[in-house]
Structure formats: C-alpha cells, structure tokens
C-alpha cells in the first residue's frame, strides 16, 4: 500500500515539477505529509 502511494506521489511530483519547475517546495510538502525522511531532518 505504501509503495503504491509512493508511486502515485512520484508521478504527481514529476507532473508538478514539469508544470511549475518548483522542485524544492513541493516534494518537501509531500515528504511532510507522509512522514518520509527528507531534507528537513
């Protein structure tokens, strides 16, 4: 289940990256939502 969520999030992040070019802000928001370790820890 978690792997599937990550796959969906990865696609969403890539789409948002291509749409806005803001690749620093958006992935960190998703990491915070999932509790996935990121640049903030």
For the segment 1-41, what is each residue's pLDDT rounded down to a tens digit? 788 888 888 887 776 655 555 555 566 777 777 776 655 44
Domain ranges (residues) in the chain: 2-34
Contact 31, 40 (CB under 8 A): yes
Estimate the crossing angle of helix 2-20 against helix 25-34, to 10 degrees. 160
Q: What three-state secondary structure class fits 7?
A: helix
CA atoms within 13 A on the CB side of 1: 1
Using CA atoms, how far residue 19 sits from 4, 15, 23, 35, 37, in Å, is: 23, 6, 10, 25, 25
pTM for the structure as a whole: 0.32
């Amino acid at each position: 289940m978690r792997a599937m969520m990550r796959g969906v999030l990865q696609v969403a992040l890539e789409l948002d990256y291509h749409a806005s070019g803001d690749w620093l802000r958006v992935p960190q928001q998703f990491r915070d939502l999932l509790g996935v370790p990121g640049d903030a820890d």
